[in-house]
A = this chain, B = another copy of it.
Amino acid sequence: MSPGAGRTGRRPGSEDTRGRILDAARAAFGERGYDGVSIRQIAADAGVDPALVHHYFGTKQRLFVAATRFPFDPREAIAGLVADGPPDRLGERFVRFVIALWDRPDVRPTVTGVVRSATTDPGAAAMARRLLAEGPLLALTTLIRLPDAELRAALASSQLMGIAFARYVLAVEPLASISPDELGAAVGPVVQRYLTGDLGLPAGDPRG
C-alpha cells in the first residue's frame, strides 16, 4: 500500500504502522465521530496493539488532530488560488478547489469526521471553531483587506460547512452527486459575495 516502503533505511515498518493507525483513525472518526470510537477499536482496525497507538499519538485527542490534518499547507494553496485568475471569480475557484479536495476518497473521511465530532465533542468543536474562525478563509479575507474580515470568513465557512453536511454527511440529492464544477458555478458567487461583496450591514457598524 505504501509506495515509500523499503525505499529508505529509516525504519519503514514504523512509518507503515503509524500510517495504518492514521488510516484506521480517519475511517473510524469519519464514520462514527469522535465520541463513537475508542483507541482500542482503532488499534484493532489497524491490526496493532493499543499500546502502540498510545506510543505514537498519546491521547485520542492528539490522534484526532493528526488524523484530520490537511494533506498540504492550506495557506500556500490559497495564495495559488488568488494568483490563478481574475479576482471576481475567486469564489468560484475556491469552491471548486475545496469540493474537489473533499471529494477525494482519502480526504472525505476527514471532512465527515470533523463535522460529526464537532457536533458532540467539545474538544473537536473547539478545533473546528478555530479552523473556521482563524483558518484559511480568515487568512484570505484578511488579505483582501475589506471591513468585516471575520464575519466574511465565518459566513463563507458556514456555506462550505453546510455543503459538507448536506453532501457528505446527509447525502441530500441532487447536491450529493453534482460535480465540483457545477458546485463551483452554483455556490462560487455566494462565496464571492461573502469575500468581497456588500453585506448590507448598517454603515458605521464594523465587525471583525
Q: Residues on A close to B: CB < 8 A?
A: 32-33, 35-36, 115-116, 118-120, 125, 128-129, 132-133, 150-151, 154-155, 157-163, 165-167, 169-175, 178, 182, 185-190, 193-194, 199-202, 207-208
Q: State the CA gap A109–B202 with chains docked (Å).
A: 30
Contacts of A118 in B (CB 8 A): 169-170
Contacts of A193 in B (CB 8 A): 189-190
Contacts of A125 in B (CB 8 A): 169-170
* B170 x A162 contact (CB < 8 A): no
- Chain B CB count within 10 A is highest, among A158, A175, A194, for A158
- Once A132-B170, A185-B199 are accepted as A-B contacts, the answer to whether A190 and B120 lie under 8 Å apart by CB is no
- Once A116-B120, A193-B190, A201-B182 are accepted as A-B contacts, the answer to whether A163 and B173 lie under 8 Å apart by CB is no
Which residue of the partner chain, among B128, B159, B167, B169, contacts A170 with CB atoms under 8 Å?
Answer: B128
* B166 x A186 contact (CB < 8 A): no
Closest chain B residue, CB of each to CB of A191: B190
Q: How far is the CB of A69 from chain B (nearest CB, A)?
A: 19
Contacts of A185 in B (CB 8 A): 199-201
Contacts of A36 in B (CB 8 A): 35, 120
Closest chain B residue, CB of each to CB of A32: B120
Q: State the CA gap A120–B124 with chains docked (Å).
A: 14
Q: How far is the CB of A7 from chain B (nearest CB, A)?
A: 39
* A186 x B174 contact (CB < 8 A): no
- Once A119-B115, A162-B161, A162-B162 are accepted as A-B contacts, the answer to whether A172 and B154 lie under 8 Å apart by CB is yes
